[in-house]
């Protein structure tokens, strides 16, 4: 039987999907801005962050309202509480994209660095992880959600490679030292975006299967 | 740019004026207005200085512990308390559509047509499903079979019952399930075209599915009617109402938007009651 407040769950879901679209676009644009030295694009990313923050607040309010007024049980409770956790991770992703964009502004007046090492591939994998985590949510795909956290190791590896590589470049007394420091931090942001995408997948898996993959769960796999 | 010092003060006064006039506007556009109401059964006071306005096409839930006066107040709105000898309003007024319903000129039959009531225990007449709904109209002198058929169908549809009973309209209403009987009583109330529907614990005898159906129905009905519902089920109040009024020992403790009452009540007594930590 359909209840009149089922639409409130649908609205919550739409807001998560909208928020997911926004932070995916922000991440893509932040990386493009970084590699192309595109200050205008970076400013656009920074401008979108407020929208994402507002969506997080809205989702939290809607979820608290739903729990207070609709007396959900079983899967409905997971649907609503997981919305809050997913939106929290998405908001952090938005923050990381914004921090990359702010590095572009900082670098804006300086000469573009001559090397990005593995930043390009790392950003592709981070965005892919984010897209897949959202897909697992939208499609209700438990298999996808369960597999995703395992793929995070590759992002960690690439970030470590970047870290070592840029550190090496800096120690060679490079004219780009200041730029490379910013690139290390951007690399860290991408690695964090991957972590948040994994967190989202873990929440989606819990939503769908009521099983907790956190901590021990991942090791068991 | 310079700002004069008077500006903030002036603005503040204006805001206050606005909110006052807004309050008055809200009161005068209210469908039901209760002012300073004191109610007694014999020497026992059951309601103390109740002030409450209810807007058109809103659902207001009355909640509070047993004996706090919810049903008493509800029965004031269609003067059902007239049937109790020792009952009397000592003070205060109730206006519906701007008319003082306790004044001499009020036609009680007319009032009860406009203010329908659904009781805790469904009480269909021991007649056919069809007759249960047509009865009120027949008493009013409506004889045209086609009009009666139309009203019966419209009300049964309105009460989300038509699909379940359309093939057995001539069967006795007492053979229906409890949930169906309750929806039939709601349909019967609708037949005489009321503006206001009062419901006193309409779901307390129903199972969760029948309850959900009645709640869905209330949600539909509020596009047409003003509804006041007494309920002991907090989740029900939270789900179906726009405003919630919490009563305790004959006093209105808190009235507010249902969202506010259930998410962030102002009074600690309200919070204790709705979270089941009372007493
Ligand atoms: N007919 C009556 N004669 C005398 N006293 C009455 C009568 N009806 C109600 N009362 C008293 O008035 C007070 C309010 O009763 P009322 O039925 O309005 O409470 P209620 O909030 O509807 O309670 P419940 O939740 O149990 O239905 C109670 O103390 C009750 O004993
Ligand atoms: Mg009662």
State the Cα torsion B87-B93-B97-B102 to the nearest 10°: 40
**A214 pLDDT tier (thresholds 50, 70, 90):** confident
pLDDT at A45: 98
Please answer yes or no on whether A3 and B262 come within 8 Å at the CB atom: no
Q: What is the ipTM of this complex?
A: 0.76
**B1 pLDDT tier (thresholds 50, 70, 90):** very low
Ligand 1 pocket test, pick from B38, B70, B84, B205 with the greatest ligand atom count within 8 Å of Cβ, gives B70
Can you name the residues that pair with B11 across neighbouring β-strands?
none
pLDDT at B139: 87
Confidence check: pLDDT of A158 > 80: yes
Mean pLDDT to the nearest integer, A186-191: 96
Q: From ligand 2's centre to the CA of B204, what distance in Å?
A: 11
- Is the CB of residue B169 less than 8 Å from the CB of residue B128? yes
Domain ranges (residues) in chain A: 6-215
Of B209, B212, B263, the CB nearest to A64: B263
Q: Where are the alpha helices (DSSP H) in chain B?
A: 6-28, 70-76, 108-114, 129-139, 145-158, 162-165, 178-191, 208-221, 234-240, 258-263, 268-274
More confident residue, B123 or A108: B123
pLDDT at B248: 97
Residue A38 sits at the vertex; the CA angle it makes with A44 and A177, to the nearest 5 degrees, is: 120
**B243 pLDDT tier (thresholds 50, 70, 90):** very high
**B98 pLDDT tier (thresholds 50, 70, 90):** very high
**Alpha-carbon span B63 to B218, nearest angstrom:** 17
- A-chain residue closest to B234, CA distance: A69
**CATH code reported for the domain at A6-215:** 1.20.58.220
pLDDT at B21: 53
pLDDT at B8: 37
**B26 pLDDT tier (thresholds 50, 70, 90):** low
Residue B57 sits at the vertex; the CA angle it makes with B54 and B60, to the nearest 5 degrees, is: 45
pLDDT at B121: 85
Residue B69 CB–ligand 1 contact under 6 Å: yes
Around A69, how many Cα atoms within 13 Å sit in the side-chain half-sphere? 26
Please answer yes or no on whether B216 and A64 come within 8 Å at the CB atom: no
Q: Enumerate the residues of chain A whose CB falls inside 8 A of the CB of residue B263.
A: 64-65, 68-69
**B206 pLDDT tier (thresholds 50, 70, 90):** confident
The mean predicted confidence, pLDDT, of chain A is 93
**Alpha-carbon span A116 to A99, nearest angstrom:** 17
CA distance readout (Å), B202 to B10, B175, B183, B244: 51, 19, 9, 16
Mean pLDDT to the nearest integer, A136-157: 95
Ligand 1 atom 7: the closest Cα is on which residue?
Answer: B41
**Alpha-carbon span B246 to B229, nearest angstrom:** 12
More confident residue, A159 or A218: A159
* Number of residues written out for chain A: 221
Confidence check: pLDDT of B236 > 90: yes
Interface contact B207, partner A, CB < 8 A: no
Interface contact A221, partner B, CB < 8 A: no
What percent of chain B lies above the pLDDT cut of 70? Answer: 90
Please answer yes or no on whether A65 and B263 come within 8 Å at the CB atom: yes
Q: From ligand 1's centre to the CA of A111, what distance in Å?
A: 83
The mean predicted confidence, pLDDT, of chain B is 88
pLDDT at A112: 75
pLDDT at B27: 54
- A-chain residue closest to B217, CA distance: A4
Residue with tokens 């979108």: A48
Q: From ligand 1's centre to the CA of B46, what distance in Å?
A: 7
Mean pLDDT to the nearest integer, B133-154: 92
Can you name the residues that pair with B117 across neighbouring β-strands?
B198
Question: How many angstroms separate the CA of residue B149 from the nearest CA in chain A?
Answer: 29
pLDDT at A114: 82
pLDDT at B267: 96
Confidence check: pLDDT of B73 > 50: yes
Question: How many angstroms separate the CA of residue A1 from the nearest CA in chain B?
Answer: 9
Q: Enumerate the residues of chain A whose CB falls inside 8 A of the CB of residue B216.
A: 1, 3-4
pLDDT at B6: 39
- What pLDDT, in 10s, does the model give residues A26-51? 999 999 999 899 999 999 999 999 99
Q: From ligand 1's centre to the CA of B69, what distance in Å?
A: 6
User: Which of the residues A5, A60, A64, A71 would you substitute to probe the B interface, choosing the one with the greatest number of B C-beta atoms within 10 Å?
Assistant: A71
**B172 pLDDT tier (thresholds 50, 70, 90):** very high
Interface contact A71, partner B, CB < 8 A: yes
Q: Where are the alpha helices (DSSP H) in chain A?
A: 6-36, 39-70, 75-107, 119-139, 142-147, 152-171, 177-209, 216-220
- What pLDDT, in 10s, does the model give residues A54-66? 999 999 999 999 9
Ligand 1 pocket test, pick from B63, B65, B71 with the greatest ligand atom count within 8 Å of Cβ, gives B71
Residue with tokens 């949600």: B219
For chain B, list the domains and their CATH numbers: 20-123+194-274 (3.40.50.300)
Residue B214 sits at the vertex; the CA angle it makes with B147 and A2, to the nearest 5 degrees, is: 105
**Alpha-carbon span B212 to B207, nearest angstrom:** 9
Confidence check: pLDDT of B12 > 70: no
Residue with tokens 């259930």: B262
Please answer yes or no on whether A71 and B238 come within 8 Å at the CB atom: yes
pLDDT at A53: 97
pLDDT at A221: 44
- What pLDDT, in 10s, does the model give residues B184-200? 999 999 898 899 999 99
**Alpha-carbon span B38 to B88, nearest angstrom:** 9
pTM of the model: 0.84
**Helix pair angle (B145-158, B178-191), 10° resolution:** 130
- What pLDDT, in 10s, does the model give residues A73-131? 998 999 999 999 999 999 999 999 999 999 999 887 777 788 899 999 999 999 999 99
Least confident span in A190-204, B20-34, B110-124, B141-155: B20-34
């Amino acid at each position: 039987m359909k209840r009149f407040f089922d639409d409130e769950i649908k609205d919550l879901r739409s807001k998560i999907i909208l928020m997911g679209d926004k932070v995916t676009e922000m991440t893509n644009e932040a990386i493009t801005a970084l590699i192309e030295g595109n200050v205008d694009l970076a400013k656009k990313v920074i401008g979108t962050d407020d929208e994402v923050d507002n969506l997080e607040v809205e989702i939290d309010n809607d979820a608290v309202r739903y729990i207070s007024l609709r007396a959900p049980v079983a899967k409905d409770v997971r649907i609503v509480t997981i919305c809050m956790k997913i939106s929290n991770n998405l908001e952090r992703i938005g923050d990381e994209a914004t921090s990359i964009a702010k590095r572009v502004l900082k670098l804006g007046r300086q000469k573009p660095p001559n090397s990005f090492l593995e930043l390009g591939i790392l950003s592709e994998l981070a965005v892919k992880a984010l897209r897949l985590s959202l897909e697992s949510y939208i499609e209700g795909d438990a298999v996808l959600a369960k597999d995703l956290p395992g793929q995070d190791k590759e992002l960690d590896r690439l970030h470590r490679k970047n870290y070592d590589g840029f550190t090496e470049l800096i120690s060679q007394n490079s004219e780009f030292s200041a730029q490379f420091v910013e690139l290390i931090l951007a690399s860290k942001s991408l690695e964090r975006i991957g972590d948040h995408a994994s967190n989202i997948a873990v929440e989606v898996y819990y939503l769908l299967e009521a099983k907790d993959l956190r901590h021990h769960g991942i090791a068991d796999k | 740019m310079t700002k004069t010092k008077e500006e903030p003060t002036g603005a503040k006064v204006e805001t206050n004026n606005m909110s006052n006039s807004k309050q008055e506007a809200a009161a005068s556009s209210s469908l039901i207005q209760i002012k300073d109401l004191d109610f007694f059964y014999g020497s026992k006071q059951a309601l103390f200085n109740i002030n409450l306005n209810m807007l058109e096409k809103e659902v207001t839930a009355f909640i509070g512990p047993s004996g706090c006066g919810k049903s008493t107040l509800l029965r004031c709105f269609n003067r059902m308390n007239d049937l109790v000898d020792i009952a009397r309003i000592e003070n205060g007024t109730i206006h519906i559509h701007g008319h003082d319903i306790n004044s001499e000129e009020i036609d009680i039959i007319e009032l009860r047509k406009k203010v329908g009531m659904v009781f805790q225990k469904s009480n269909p007449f021991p007649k056919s499903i069809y007759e249960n709904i047509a009865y009120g109209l027949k008493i009013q002198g409506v004889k045209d079979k086609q009009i009666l058929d139309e009203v019966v169908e419209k009300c049964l549809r309105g009460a989300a019952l038509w699909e379940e009973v359309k093939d057995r309209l001539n069967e006795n209403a007492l053979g229906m399930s409890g949930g169906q009987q309750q929806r039939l009583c709601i349909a019967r109330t609708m037949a005489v075209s009321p503006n206001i529907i009062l419901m006193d614990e309409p779901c307390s005898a129903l199972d969760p599915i029948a309850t959900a159906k009645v709640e869905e129905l209330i949600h539909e009905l509020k596009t047409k009617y003003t509804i006041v519902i007494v309920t002991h089920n907090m989740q029900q109040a939270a789900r179906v109402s726009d405003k919630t009024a919490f009563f305790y020992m004959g006093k209105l403790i808190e009235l507010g938007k249902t969202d506010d009452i259930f998410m962030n009540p102002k009074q600690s007594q309200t919070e204790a009651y709705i979270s089941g930590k009372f007493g």
